[in-house]
Structure formats: structure tokens, C-alpha cells
Amino acid sequence: MIQYVTKDTLEHMKAELQHFKGVERPAASRAIAEAREKGDLKENAEYDAAKEAQGLLEAKIAALEGQVASARIVDETTIDTSKVTILTKVKVTNLNTKKQVTYQIVSETEADLKLGKISVTSPIGKGLLGKTIGEIAEVTAPAGLIKFKVEDISV
């Protein structure tokens, strides 16, 4: 699955991958070696824990490698603000509560609700995609149907 990210996010992902491979992986190998030296592997809880931690680390590395490989950099200067797309900021009014909020539509890895960044694959993100100023987006959320009016779109 292609994942659209900013250049900064891709650099952060690559740095995290390097950390996992260059620091975490050798540390996991050392932990296994130290546990192995402590005797019988059948009754060695430390060895089992170290092997499990290594397995989880390898899964993280594989997932991150996949994300980096499928990442496509989006140039913020070429974003079309006539409609809601990835990396646009959209100011909406919740028609149920009359409250206004601004969201930035981002990839799953960049999503952070505290910063107003919502995933393009979230119910609200999906509902807003492709909408233009003045349009109403109907979003089915766990709390029920929510209607958002698109007030403004920017970068």
C-alpha cells in the first residue's frame, strides 16, 4: 500500500530504521548470547524473553522497511487546495455541535489527534477526502452520523 508522507517524515522513518538495525538489533543479539551462557536453554526464562524481544524487534524492522519502501514524498508546494487531499488542512464545522476545528489530513504514520493530524484512512479523513469548500461530509463514526461542513482548505 502506497503511503504518502512529507520529506521530514520519511527522513524520521529512515533514522528510526537505522536505530533499530544499528543499535537495537546488536543489543538484542548480545542479550541472547548472555542468556545462552547461563546454562540449560530449556529452563532459561531469560533466553526465552530475549528471543521473544528479538522477534518483536525484527517484526518492527520488517514493518518499517515496508513503510519506507512504499513511501512516496508529497511536495507541499504542489498540493491542490481546491479540494481536500492528503496534507491539506481543512477547517470544518461540526453541524451537530456547531464547533469548528481544523484537521490536517496525513498518512497513518503521521496521525496525531493532539496535533490536529488525522489519518487519511480514518472515518473522518475518508469522509472529508475530495470535498470542496461549502460541501457537507457525512461521517459514520462509533458515536453515530456526524456532519461536517468544509469551511476552508489550505496547506
CA end-to-end distance (rounded Å), the chain: 24
Residue recorded with cell 481546491: 82
- Give me the pLDDT at residue 26, please: 94
Q: What is the torsion angle, in degrees rounded to the nearest 10, for the CA atoms of residue 60, residue 61, residue 64 and residue 66?
A: -110
DSSP 90-151: EEEEETTT--EEEEEEE-TTT-BGGGTEEETTSHHHHHHTT--TT-EEEEEETTEEEEEEEE
Q: Where are the domains of the chain?
A: 3-73, 76-154
H or E segment at 11? helix 7-19
Residue 127 has pLDDT above 90, yes or no: yes
Say if 3-73 and 76-154 have the same CATH topology. no
Residue 130 has which C-alpha cell? Answer: 475530495
Q: Note if the pTM is more than 0.85.
A: no
Cβ neighbours of 17 (radius 10 Å):
17
Q: Note the CATH number of domain 76-154.
A: 3.10.50.30
| Residue 136 or residue 4, greater confidence | 136
- Give me the pLDDT at residue 43, please: 76
Residue 138 has pLDDT above 70, yes or no: yes
* CB distance 81 to 88 below 8 Å: yes
User: pLDDT exceeding 70 applies to what percent of the chain?
Assistant: 99
| Residue 89 or residue 2, greater confidence | 89
Q: Taking residues 119-147, report their average pLDDT.
A: 91
| Residue 76 or residue 61, greater confidence | 61
- Give me the pLDDT at residue 20, please: 95
Q: Taking residues 4-30, report their average pLDDT.
A: 91
- Give me the pLDDT at residue 1, please: 67
pLDDT band at 19 (very low <50, low <70, confident <90, very high): very high
d(CA 91, CA 71) in angstroms, rounded, equals: 27
Whole-number mean pLDDT of the chain?
89
Q: Note the CATH number of domain 3-73.
A: 1.10.287.180
